[in-house]
Structure formats: structure tokens, C-alpha cells
Amino acid sequence: MIRRLLSYVKEYKKESILTPLSMIIEVAMEMVVPMLMASLVNDGINARNEAGEVVGDMQHIILIGVFMIVAALIGLAGGIMGGVFGAKASTGFAKNLRKGMFDRIQTFSFKNIDKFSTAGLVTRLTTDVNNVQNAYQMILRMCMRSPMTFVIALVMSFTIKPSLALIYLIAVIILGCILAFIISKAMKAFEQAFPKYDELNASVQENVNAIRVVKAYVREDHEKKKFKTASNNIYKIFSAAEKLTTFNGPAMSITVYTCILLISWLGAKMIINTFEVDLNLGDLTALLSYCMSILMSLMMFSMIFIMLTMSAASVRRINEVLAEEPDIVNPENPIMEVKDGSIVFKNVNFRYNKDGKENVLSNININIESGETIGIIGGTGSAKSTLVNLISRLYDVNDGAVLVGGKDVREYDLEVLRDEVSVVLQKNVLFSGTIMDNLRWGVRKKKDGANQPETPQEKAEIEAECIRACKLACADEFIERMPDKYETYIEQGGTNVSGGQKQRLCIARALVKKPKILILDDSTSAVDTATDAKIRKAFAEEIPGTTKLIIAQRISSVMNADRIIVMEDGKINGFGTHDELLKSNEIYRDVYESQTGGNGDFDEGGEH
């Protein structure tokens, strides 16, 4: 898990190495200063003449003072470099992690995405990555500095006076036990906190996406309570964790001041009783300095462990995304061309859960010729959308095979297959940008020179094709009435256009690809029947070679299709022309009679 995450350091390895090296320089200079201070006191301020009188040595004081300034400046430079390199390494690591996660999500099939909530993925890309970034910077800067400070200061203390240095060793053991207890308790609390962020993000996302419904039903107070509950859950968990970590400061202070008092008292007794033979004033000053260094290094250790504790849960959550293997991938030697738009379902069974017992689709056998227009109708939950999702390999079949152009869809390159199978999904999605920007989503990638900019001629040809697609989808009717026409800005989610307009733009976007197969998944439900008829007529006249699958609830949308599939409970109940189904299929006949009678849709028709 850690190895996988560290692989995303990539081009920031140099900064990741230079950061701890800079910290070594800083620590080395900090550890030299107390020794220089001891020399300044013993051989400078307390310098004695041959008679044993304290006369001082100004030259030695100046020389040691210069050395101390130089050491301080070198240490300062090391600290600054460590900060700069550490910030660059950690932010670069976070950038690569976000990109790696986002790229991984793009490879997921619908089945992979179903394992994660939208709010959970957002939290992983933001809060969790920020936690890992902070922990990584702390590791680079403090994990080298703290151990080195601790070891060097302890060694130097034992070099000066082993008997007094034992006080530090005892203090370290006691403080280490206290910190271990605090961290073990706090870790459990932090692990519970981060999943709560998912609930908070989900509450915000749901509220913003459905803000019109919230206001229409005057449910603002209800949404506020939901958000407050999610926010309070995070507050309670973090409060519990922070209460535990607050004991860190008092424990550290008590230990530091106890050590200072003991060293000062015992050291002073030694100086007075032995007339500075066992210990002199300069050595006592150095010991007190090393006391602070040793115990502050422990404080840094505690901060590191708390940060690592907080980030441990985040690391696991990020790794879940990075380790998720897409269940739909390209074969070793994929087919790079789709011959035609013919579709064959051979003994197809499908279930969303491989271990599930009940099939969503059962025993599907269909043969569709290239260029045919096929209508698909069925009640809610009859698996109409699931059926067409198998064609573009958004899901893979559990049994049997789906053939496009005479070849199993699992043998094609995914990009090639999906370029030839354009799907207008049941839930229409437009992105923020102009109408032309949205239409250009349907433009295929260049085979060669993909990174080269478009020439003016290519741009003109693409825009002409987008306009042609809009005419086929009857979208040009309302676009031409807009002040900015194709440069009209679409808000996020297409909130500034109607449902019918959004559907027509999505159909036009799919047509820009010039696919061999076009699937309309209930994509004209918000369009009036006259416009629906115009779209179907344009398809028949302008793209006769494209295989068209039209899922609809209205009989009028499919009755002129070459053949119609009637679905019920994941099975094919009927397959034939409009006239054939009227004679032979009871479900189709009931729906036709209920709808032509002026009331009822498919779901209602089944009850007649």
C-alpha cells in the first residue's frame, strides 16, 4: 500500500531527498551551538590566569561568537532549504496522487464506480489527499530532524556528564509511554472521523443538486438539520480525539521543567561541592541546552505520530481507489475497426453481482441487421437500459456473448467500440461551456498527431458537422433563436435550458461522432410528439446506414421502427413489427390501446 502511494512521488524524488539532507545540516549546526557556548563560558568568560584568577579572554569570546553566528546562519539556510524543498515535494506528491486517482476513476466501468459513492470519491480527492500531503511533508522534515536531534543531543550529554544525562534517559522513557498511550487512543477516534466527511459531502452535494426541489417543497429547514447532524458527528469525533492529544502538551511541559530543575539543582551542587572539578558552568549550560533539544525532539515525534495517525485512514481510503482494478479492460490484441452496425445477442445472461443468483437479463437472443431501426419498450425495471449498456460494453455479460459487426464486443479496443456506438443516456448531462463546446464532445480523437492544434479548416469542418447534427436532432430550431446562437453559454448541468432542449443537444452531440450504432435511451421523453416525429424522420432520411435503437415509453416513438422489442422482467416478451405485435403480443396491444385511447403509458397499460 505504502509502496503504491510512494510511486506517485515521481519527478519530485530529488526534492524528497534534498529535504532531509537540508534538515541534517540544520540539526548539525544546532547541536554545535551548545558546545560552542560551553567553550565560550569556560575558556572565554571564565578564563583564568596563571594565578587562578578569572580574567576572561576577549579574543576567544569574539572567535567563538563568530563561529556561533556562522553555525546559526548555516543552520538557518538548511532550515529554509528544507522548508522550500519539503513544500515542493509534498505539494507535487499531492498533485500526482490526485491525478493518479482521477485517471484511475476514468478507467472504471459502471460496476467499479458503483462501489464508491460520489461524495466518497470527492472526499478522497480533497480532504484525504490534503492529510497525506501534510503527513508527507512532516515525514520529510521531522522524521530526519527529530531522531538526529534526539540521538546527537543524548550522546553529547553523556559525553559531558553521564550521571546527569541519565535523567534525560529516564524522562524519555516515561514521556514515550505517555505519548504511546495518547496516540493509541487518538488513532481510533481519527479513523472514525474521515468516513463522516463522506456523509457531510453527500449532504451538501444532494442539497445543491436538488436545490430547486428543496425550495419548491420549502424543505430548507429539513436540509439544514441534515447538514447540522453530519457536521456535529465530525465535531464530536474530532473533539474526542483532540481532547486526548491535548494531554501531550502538559505531559511534555512537566517533563521538560522537571528535567531542568533536576539538572540545575544537581549540576549546581556538583559545581559548588567540587569547585568546578567534576562539572563547570559552561558544561551545565550545554546540558540545559541539550535538555531542551532532547525533549523538544520528543514533542516533534508526538506531532509526527498524531499526523500519521490522522493520515493513516486517508492512506487506506486513497489506496482503495488506486488499487481498484477495472473489470472491463482491452484484450491483448484488440480489433481496431468495427465492420458494420449489426448487433447479435447470443444466449445472454447478466447480473450486476457475479455472485448473485437472479439474473437481470435472462436468455436474450436477438439478431439486428446493420441500418435497422429497433424500438424497445417495457415497463419500469424491465432492464431496457441494461440491455443496451451491454452493446457499448459499459457492463460485460455473465453468460453468452454480444456481437457488434460480427465480433464479440470483448475483442474490440474499448475506445474504437465506444466511438462507433453512440449512447444518449437516460439521464442527460451537459457540461458548463458554450453549446459548441458541448457538441464538440462528440468529435473523435485524431488517429495521428493527437496533440497538434486544429487547423482553421479542421475547425470549420467540425463546426459544420456540429450544426448538421443539431439540424438532425431538431436542436437548431431553438439555438438559432438565442442571441449568441452556438456560443450561448450553458450552465453546469444545463440548468439554463429546458428538458427537451437538453435532450436534443445530447442527441446532436452523439450524432457528431457519425457512429455505426446510435442508442437513444428514453432520450425524447421531454420532447413533444411533433418534434419527436421530426427527429425520427430526419434519422430515417439522413443516416439510413446507422443502426438505431430507440428506448421509449410512447408507442408513437417506436411504432414506425423496422422491428420492436417488448421487454418484461429482464426477458424478451415479443420481437417483431408493429403490426405483428398488435396481433400476437398482448402486452404491446394493451399499451397501444391505452395510449391511443388518450391516457396511460406503458406501466399503466400492463394493468388493462
pLDDT, one tens digit per residue, over 306-320 is 777 777 778 888 888
The mean per-residue pLDDT over the stretch 270-279 comes to: 72
* Integer Cα distance of 360 and 383 in angstroms: 7
Walk across the sheet containing 343-350 and list its strands. Answer: 361-368, 343-350, 399-404, 407-408
Q: pLDDT at position 346, please?
A: 92
Predicted TM-score (pTM) of the model is 0.69
Q: pLDDT at position 451, please?
A: 59
Q: pLDDT at position 603, please?
A: 52
DSSP designation for 426: S
The mean per-residue pLDDT over the stretch 248-274 comes to: 80
* Integer Cα distance of 462 and 459 in angstroms: 5
Please check whether residue 260 is in contact with residue 291, taking contact to mean a CB–CB distance below 8 angstroms. Answer: yes
Q: pLDDT at position 605, please?
A: 43
Q: Is 105 exposed, middle or buried (0-12, 13-18, 19+ CB in 10 A)?
A: middle
| Residue range 201-251, pLDDT digits in tens | 777 777 777 777 777 777 788 888 888 888 888 888 778 777 777 777 787
Please check whether residue 30 is in contact with residue 74, taking contact to mean a CB–CB distance below 8 angstroms. Answer: no
Q: pLDDT at position 277, please?
A: 64
* Integer Cα distance of 502 and 78 in angstroms: 59
Query: Domains, the chain, ranges and CATH?
Result: 2-323 (1.20.1560.10), 343-428+515-605 (3.40.50.300)
| Residue range 153-188, pLDDT digits in tens | 888 888 888 888 788 788 878 877 887 777 777 767
How sure is the predictor about 119, in pLDDT bands with cuts at 50, 70 and 90?
confident
Q: pLDDT at position 604, please?
A: 47
- Interior angle at CA 213, CA 207 and CA 218, nearest 5: 90
- Interior angle at CA 360, CA 355 and CA 361, nearest 5: 115
Q: pLDDT at position 275, please?
A: 65
Q: pLDDT at position 88, please?
A: 92
Lowest-pLDDT choice from 203-207, 420-424, 433-437: 203-207
Q: Is the pLDDT of residue 599 over 60?
A: no
C-alpha cell at 452: 497538434
Q: Is the pLDDT of residue 601 over 70?
A: no
Q: Is 206 exposed, middle or buried (0-12, 13-18, 19+ CB in 10 A)?
A: middle
| Residue range 129-148, pLDDT digits in tens | 888 888 888 888 877 777 88
| Residue range 372-381, pLDDT digits in tens | 889 998 887 8
| Residue range 78-118, pLDDT digits in tens | 889 988 998 999 999 999 999 988 988 888 877 777 777 77
Q: Is the pLDDT of residue 357 over 60?
A: yes
| Residue range 492-551, pLDDT digits in tens | 777 778 888 888 888 888 888 888 898 888 777 777 777 778 887 888 777 888 898 988
The more confidently predicted of residues 354 and 545 is 545
Q: pLDDT at position 401, please?
A: 92
* Integer Cα distance of 143 and 23 in angstroms: 9
| 289 alpha-carbon distance from chain centroid | 46
How sure is the predictor about 51, in pLDDT bands with cuts at 50, 70 and 90?
low
C-alpha cell at 424: 444518449
Highest mean pLDDT among 65-79, 230-244, 417-431, 446-460: 65-79
Q: Is the pLDDT of residue 447 over 50?
A: yes
Q: pLDDT at position 343, please?
A: 92
Q: pLDDT at position 273, please?
A: 78
Instruction: Give the burial string for 413-436 (b: 16+ CB within 10 Å, else e).
Output: bbebbbbbbbbbbeebebeeeebb
Q: Is 271 exposed, middle or buried (0-12, 13-18, 19+ CB in 10 A)?
A: middle
How sure is the predictor about 608, in pLDDT bands with cuts at 50, 70 and 90?
very low
